[in-house]
Amino acid sequence: MLTDVAPPMPIPGHIDPVPVARTLAPRPDGRVDLIGLSKDQLRAALADTGMDPRQAKLRGKQIWHWLYNRGATEFAQMTDIAKAQHPWLTDRFVVGRPEVVETQVSTDGTRKWLLRSPDAQDYEMVFIPDADRGTLCVSSQVGCTLNCRFCHTGTMRLVRNLTAGEIVGQVMLARDALGEWPSSPEGRMLTNIVMMGMGEPLYNFDAVRDALRLVMDGDGLALSKRRITLSTSGVVPMMARAGEEIGVNLAVSLHAVTKEVRDEIVPLNRKYGIDELLAACAAYPGANNARRITFEYVMLRNKNDSDADARELVRLVKAYKLPAKVNLIPFNPWPGAPYECSTPERIRAFSNIVFEAGISAPTRTPRGRDIDAACGQLKTAAEKKSRAELDRQAEAKLAALG
């Protein structure tokens, strides 16, 4: 079936309007991918293809369990569904996973996957293991439109939004790689999810919301909303909806405390300024001292790292009475980057000022730098290709499949 894509919200930045507005094409074999469908949508898909509605309700519940609790990728694995029905399901449906183009493992154990969609779009996800947790950094778009000057991903063109299936598919692929099926809350390596990969999640709100609802569903992947963090650069009109309709932890890419500097390094600030952004943070549903808002702050030498900047950060947090913590992020360099990382001594001095004011301000240890998997480094080769080249690739792949 064709899925209509809503017109994109007006946003600043470098946008390729053709793929953003494009209607998603059906699979060349006509089958429907069940990954990304809600329970009701899955049941309706079965009924729409001719299954008796009462049977569709039962089969839908069984298939849901196999997809999201057991990690099945083929109907033949679903042992409580009659074998005679497996070919009927296989002819009409598919259990999708992103295509893995390349996997890299850092010396610190961080893993990065380069993934490819059926229409030949590339995107990335990263898994960061720690002693007490394992965090999956998930992408929401192919490319990005925000042009944050310190971020390598921000130098890419926005190609298109990822679907709910492509977003939740990253989590399922990580579970595959880590051997974490059947789904169980005990003994997981993958314990946390951060929507901090490629793209701005709140500019792909519906798909991100639908994917995270699948991740949080107690009958399936069953990851608590307290273990999921959505990061935004400050799309103020969507923040309240995110709190109400998703309800996960909020992280805000602040990175500067003055209009002049934030306008430069986070151009979205020209649309939604610091005061407007912090007012939206203060109103974020569910924010309290037990669920603090995280402010991400990349440390840029002689740009945003002075004692005065630290004191202004403290003033802003206190002025808006924000239950907050600040993650200080040493800048991760990339070829051609216009900034340098603050010195360790400067980062420590900045952190001390914030800590002494009673606000947690730990310094994030860079992970995966050697495989370009650290914060702000994600960037695929897709942006090097023209729109025509990507179309030719997609057409060639469809022709090969059909």
- Which ranges in 98-193 belong to alpha helices (H)? 164-178
Kindly state the tokens that stand for 139: 């992408």
Distance CA 235, CA 273 (A): 10
Q: 125, 174 in Cβ contact below 8 A?
A: yes
Distance CA 167, CA 211 (A): 6
Q: Quick one: 261 exposed, middle or buried, by C-beta within 10 A (0-12, 13-18, 19+)?
A: middle
Residues 6+ apart with CB under 8 A from 199: 139, 140, 141, 142, 143, 144, 153, 158, 161, 162
- 309-346 CB burial, b ≥16 within 10 A, e <16: bbeebbebbeebebbbbbbbbbbbbbeebebebbeeeb
Kindly state the tokens that stand for 63: 């298939």
Q: Comparing C-alpha atoms, which of 134, 142, 191, 173 is closest to residue 35? A: 173
Q: Comparing C-alpha atoms, which of 352, 257, 249, 343 is closest to residue 300? A: 343
E strand or H helix at 230: strand 228-232
Q: Comparing C-alpha atoms, which of 130, 139, 82 is closest to residue 109? A: 130
Neighbours of 58 (CB within 10 A): 14
DSSP letter string, 265-289: H-GGGGTS-HHHHHHHHHT-TT-BT
The residue length of the chain stands at: 402
**3-state DSSP helix/strand/coil percent for the chain, to nearest 5?**
40, 15, 45
What count of Cα atoms within 13 Å lies in the side-chain half-sphere of residue 15?
15
Q: Which residues are catalytic?
A: 124, 375
Residues 6+ apart with CB under 8 A from 245: 209
